């Protein structure tokens, strides 16, 4: 609602400013920074120079510089003689800039002498004077002094009822203060004297806030009749349709307008956004390509096309657009990050890494860039670098689940189980920690045979993610390894196998349950099935040897253990003992 109010408060004194608004879909090219003279030197310039310099600065969006020029000009005018002392126009522009930076006291101090010098006199309408009094109401409104601002506007309109900027601001203030009935009355009063597109838009806005969508659409139809080329109409109609849950109608409004106004980029951009929301990437790409052809120097459009192609796994095409966006704006809007992501996908790691490093801290994508860099280090097995990057990051961003996964996985790969547990305690306290992260902790806990903690950790994962097959199998195998709660163990593992029936590791776990239950033939049968899927796991081969020995097939068991020893088991001495002495 604030955004709505300020847009109309600006309109209410639109004659005061030469500042141009940017189109929504088009970014302006970077403007070369003007060398700013020292403030103390400004007083040496003539009033005419200061005013023209301020206008030029405003046109180039150098607001601070324009404000300095106008402040110097105001000081000169305050010491002038005659009517020059009371010049209005540059003061109006200065107050608008002060409002932008919330300099309310300075604005009031400047306006009050001018208001006293230029009272409103009936039948002596002066546009500058009316804008002056309306701007004063705007300053009051900016300080949330709505009652005083409305009193001032009522006074203006009682003398000059046809002054539309004051009327627009009055309606906007009624809306801001949620006085909907008064907003309707003000609009109807205005309609008795005028019927403008702006008034119809305000009328539609009031109905929108009241969720009276049918009335809002009627007002927009009237607005369209008064301003058939105004792109705000289809945008608002589309908004109403979306509020009503009719996305198809929303697209219809936009497409109908574009059929007669094919170059309206704001409407085209909104239609593309609706296509994206509906998953219609093909039409979204077509529209954005049309936009890109119209404004080839728009980095945001190029980046949007890059994202669309990336989502379609057309990474080479995505890279072309990200490259263009990065060339146009290397330091803005995530273009370095997105280009890096496409390069990483295309295995161009060196440049991808350099681009990720360009993302500055404080940028919304900085954390993700650090995670990508850590991920690249992880794939290169540079686990120490992963830890050097993520440990300080997690101090500032402890909610980053991906960081906890990478950090714990790096310690797991180094078999530094205690470090894993020590550094990941805070991550385990998150409201909803990642299953992968918790499984990593469970593996470390299992290494120290802290079975109760393993059980607690895995049950937490299963409670939040009942279809997590790794947790189901892990918990079942933990029970089987201890030879306890074997019926529960079997149940957990069978649930995992229902979801992944051909997983060799899960078959091994179930076979181990049968082994612990003394059902050796069933165990051997299942174990052979698991080894048909996974042949190079030393532990699984050792399990089959144990099962064969218990079933009385001692020679076959010894041969199986010898095979297991060739696969570099974690505890080769245990296998050597079995080969020499068998199972007790």
pLDDT exceeds cutoff 60 at 547: yes
**Nearest 5°: phi and psi at 28?**
-75, 155
Residue whose structure tokens are 């974690």: 570
Q: Say if residue 197 is exposed, middle or buried (CB neighbours under 10 Å; 0-12, 13-18, 19+).
A: middle
- Would you say the pTM of this structure is higher than 0.85? no
Q: In this prediction, what percent of the chain has a pLDDT beyond 70? A: 93
pLDDT exceeds cutoff 80 at 30: no
Q: What is the pLDDT of residues 528-544, one digit of tens each?
A: 999 999 999 999 999 99
* Angle between the N-to-C axes of helices 164-176 and 146-159, in degrees from 0 to 180, rounded to the nearest 10: 150
The pLDDT score that the predictor gives to residue 79 is: 87
Give the residue with greater pLDDT, 11 vs 227. 227
Give yes or no for a contact between 4 and 175, defined as CB atoms under 8 angstroms apart: yes
Mean of the per-residue pLDDT values of the chain: 89
The pLDDT score that the predictor gives to residue 317 is: 96
| Model confidence band, residue 47 (pLDDT cutoffs 50, 70, 90) | confident
Secondary-structure breakdown of the chain: helix, strand, coil percentages, each rounded to the nearest 5: 75, 0, 25
283: Cα separation from own chain's centroid: 23
Q: For 23, which DSSP code?
A: P
Give yes or no for a contact between 375 and 366, defined as CB atoms under 8 angstroms apart: no
| Model confidence band, residue 363 (pLDDT cutoffs 50, 70, 90) | confident
The DSSP H or E segment spanning 226 is: helix 213-226
pLDDT exceeds cutoff 80 at 31: no
The pLDDT score that the predictor gives to residue 80 is: 87
Give buried/exposed letters for 357-380 (b at 16+ CB in 10 A, else e). ebbeeebebbbbbbbbbbbbbbee
What is the fold, at CATH topology level, of the domain defined by 1-19+37-194? 1.25.40
| Model confidence band, residue 41 (pLDDT cutoffs 50, 70, 90) | low
Mean pLDDT value across residues 221-246: 94
pLDDT exceeds cutoff 70 at 96: yes
pLDDT exceeds cutoff 60 at 22: no
| Model confidence band, residue 112 (pLDDT cutoffs 50, 70, 90) | very high
Q: Say if residue 155 is exposed, middle or buried (CB neighbours under 10 Å; 0-12, 13-18, 19+).
A: middle
Kindly report which listed range (40-54, 302-316, 463-477) carries the lowest average pLDDT score: 40-54
The pLDDT score that the predictor gives to residue 12 is: 29
The pLDDT score that the predictor gives to residue 277 is: 87
Show me where the domains of the chain are located: 1-19+37-194
- Write the secondary structure of 308-376 as one string of H (helix), E (strand) and C (coil): HHHHCCCHHHHHHHHHHHHHHCCCCCCHHHHHHHHHHHCCCHHHHHHHHHHCCECECCHHHHHHHHHHH
């Amino acid at each position: 609602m604030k955004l709505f109010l300020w847009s109309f408060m600006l309109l209410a004194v639109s004659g005061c400013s030469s500042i141009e608004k940017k189109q929504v879909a088009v970014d302006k090219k970077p403007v070369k920074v003007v060398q700013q003279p020292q403030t103390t030197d400004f007083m040496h310039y003539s009033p005419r120079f200061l005013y023209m310099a301020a206008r030029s600065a405003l046109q180039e969006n150098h607001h601070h510089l324009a404000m300095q020029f106008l402040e110097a000009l105001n000081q000169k005018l305050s010491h002038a003689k005659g009517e020059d002392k009371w010049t209005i126009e540059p003061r109006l522009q200065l107050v608008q800039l002060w409002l932008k930076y919330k300099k309310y006291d300075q604005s009031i101090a400047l306006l009050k002498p001018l208001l006293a010098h230029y009272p409103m006199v009936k039948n002596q309408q002066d546009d500058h004077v009316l804008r002056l009094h309306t701007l004063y109401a705007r300053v009051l409104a900016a300080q949330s002094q709505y009652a005083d601002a409305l009193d001032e506007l009522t006074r203006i309109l009682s003398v000059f009822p046809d002054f539309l900027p004051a009327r627009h601001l009055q309606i906007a203030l009624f809306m801001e203060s949620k006085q909907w009935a008064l907003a309707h009355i003000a609009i109807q009063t205005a309609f008795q004297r005028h019927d403008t597109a702006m008034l119809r838009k305000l009328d539609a806005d009031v109905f929108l806030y009241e969720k009276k969508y049918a009335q809002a659409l009627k007002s927009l139809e009237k607005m369209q009749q008064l301003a058939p080329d105004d792109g705000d109409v289809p945008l608002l109609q589309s908004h109403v349709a979306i509020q009503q849950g009719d996305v198809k109608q929303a697209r219809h409004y936009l497409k109908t307008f574009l059929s007669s106004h094919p170059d309206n980029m704001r409407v085209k951009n909104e239609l593309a956004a609706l296509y994206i929301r509906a998953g219609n990437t093909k039409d979204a790409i077509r529209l954005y390509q049309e936009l890109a052809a119209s404004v080839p120097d728009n980095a945001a459009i190029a980046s949007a096309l890059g994202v669309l192609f990336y989502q379609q796994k057309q990474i080479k095409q995505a890279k072309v657009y990200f490259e263009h966006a990065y060339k146009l704006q290397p330091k803005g809007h995530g273009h370095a990050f997105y280009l890096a992501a496409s390069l990483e996908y295309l295995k161009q790691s060196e440049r991808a890494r350099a681009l990720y490093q360009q993302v500055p801290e404080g940028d919304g994508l900085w954390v993700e860039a650090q995670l990508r860099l850590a991920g690249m280090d992880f794939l290169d097995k540079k686990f120490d670098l992963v830890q050097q990057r993520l440990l300080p990051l997690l101090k500032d961003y402890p909610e980053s689940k991906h960081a906890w996964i990478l950090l714990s996985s790096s310690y797991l790969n180094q078999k530094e189980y205690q470090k894993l547990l020590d550094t990941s305690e805070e991550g385990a306290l998150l409201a909803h920690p990642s299953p992968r992260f918790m499984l990593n902790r469970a593996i470390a806990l299992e290494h120290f045979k802290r079975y109760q903690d393993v059980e607690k950790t895995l049950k937490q994962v299963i409670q939040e993610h009942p279809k997590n097959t790794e947790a189901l199998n892990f918990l079942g195998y933990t029970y089987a390894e201890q030879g306890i709660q074997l019926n529960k163990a079997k149940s957990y593992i069978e649930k995992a196998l229902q979801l992944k029936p051909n997983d060799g590791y899960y078959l091994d776990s179930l076979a181990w349950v049968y082994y612990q239950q003394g059902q050796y033939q069933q165990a051997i049968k299942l174990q052979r099935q698991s080894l048909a899927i996974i042949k190079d796991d030393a532990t699984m081969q050792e399990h089959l040897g144990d099962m064969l020995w218990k079933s009385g097939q001692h020679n076959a068991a010894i041969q199986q253990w010898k095979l297991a020893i060739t696969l570099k088991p974690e505890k080769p001495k245990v296998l050597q003992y079995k080969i020499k002495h068998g199972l007790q």
